Structure 1
């Protein structure tokens, strides 16, 4: 090689450079809607220990930790903000560019959101006040009690309504239901067998005062929910990242770190 290019070689190099620039430009344009959307999404988390909780003002738990790991993988820099349940639920359902972490995926909600997950699952049982004579071996047994505490538009509220329950005591928060059960103002509360300890304790109620009944109502799973306008490409990105976390052991580390009742 003599250190010089002839005209044909220069033309080929220029054509290659131009082709590379065109490919890069087209690729960037195709990704632009996803990147722009990701940069603007309002990401909200609901306090639901150990899935999400605060320690000295710092947001911790399975949901925010999983989300941050995914964000690092997909290049998302949106802040995660704590939000009250009803506001976050209504915004994600009705407004564009919204996300809600984490929410139980049930048929009644299927078409309201786009989903990434699951990030957690557990069996759901009716709990009673410890020492209560109430026996719940079937769903009909639960129908016979006077009051079952539920959070307005929460998973248990919607799921029990779908089963035709009319004996529901509807409150603004799960905490209010736990306190009512502790005070014997409701007969039952439907709770997860793994999360109830943390939720009840967070509400300032002694978990030892509650007793699980025998009937498993459901096996529920918590998912990351996005408003319907979020592009499918972004949902696929997030799902692939979550699957990777589960495959490489990061997800199990997060679970072990947060599910420690001691």
Structure 2
């Protein structure tokens, strides 16, 4: 631990370049981070990689189910987790930079042949709604409600296919991720979405809470702010534009 703190302190000295590997975990989530042809890519993955490169860091990335990713960073087996919403509970064991990576807007997707109009949470009474395991959606009332059934599925694609096959009535999915996946599957004519958000929030790269990572988080925040002013940042956003 002492060695790690010393190394991180040295890395934060301007002009000093040392190689440092960080373990970063997340769940596959197009278009934010995913694997294609054996290579990781995605809008937030590429932003973080670019910021780390500017800081003199490299990262060992591991994709896993979301619950396991959270447990990994909470226990300290991972240094950081990508694309997580900030909650009061999570701030007990994670450090969130003030600068976020992306905006998350979760909406209800539906099969066009079997629409379910949505006005408020009580519109979901008696329905089965597809969700992702351990997601909060930035909406505690949605998570706490007992008048509809939440049915988890491991991926966005799985929830969309369950919609198509009438195994669920609706699915709560990040709008950007849902539209990206619909295009990839060629299902835009079969599945639509209600524009009214179920929940929204900011997505962060959050760090395991300890003293050394507080310094690292501050340095990452400063470099991310700078990077957002660059042409490279705008090119990454354009590459993954809806």
Who is 1:186 aligned against? 168
Who is 2:15 aligned against? none
> Is 1:78 aligned to 2:59, yes or no?
yes
Aligned-residue offset at 1:129: 1.1
The answer to whether the Cα contact below 8 Å between 1:125 and 1:190 also exists between their aligned partners in 2 is yes
Who is 2:16 aligned against? none
> Is 1:169 aligned to 2:144, yes or no?
no
Length, aligned pairs only: 230
Question: Could you state the TM-score of these two structures normalised by the residue count of structure 2?
Answer: 0.81
Cα distance in structure 2, aligned partners of 1:197 and 1:167: 24
Aligned-residue offset at 1:189: 0.9
Q: Deviations over 1:28-47 (max 9, x none)?
A: x9853445899353112322
Q: Which residue among 107, 126, 150 is the counterpart of 2:108?
A: 126
Unaligned runs of 5+ in 2: 13-18
Who is 1:255 aligned against? 237
> Is 1:237 aligned to 2:212, yes or no?
no
RMSD over aligned Cα atoms: 2.9
Rg comparison, structure with higher value: 1
Q: Which residue among 42, 45, 56 is the counterpart of 2:37?
A: 56
The answer to whether the Cα contact below 8 Å between 2:129 and 2:148 also exists between their aligned partners in 1 is no
Q: Which residue among 129, 137, 146 is the counterpart of 2:127?
A: 146
Q: Deviations over 1:134-191 (max 9, x none)?
A: 110222212x142111121123498431456652112344333222111111111112
Aligned-residue offset at 1:232: 1.0
Who is 2:82 aligned against? 101
> Is 1:195 aligned to 2:170, yes or no?
no
Q: Cα distance 1:250–1:75, how it changes in 2: closer, same or farther (>3 A)? A: same
Q: Which residue among 32, 38, 49 is the counterpart of 2:7?
A: 32
The answer to whether the Cα contact below 8 Å between 1:53 and 1:61 also exists between their aligned partners in 2 is yes
Bigger proportion of residues as helix: 1
Aligned-residue offset at 1:234: 0.5
Q: Which residue among 166, 175, 194 is the counterpart of 1:213?
A: 194
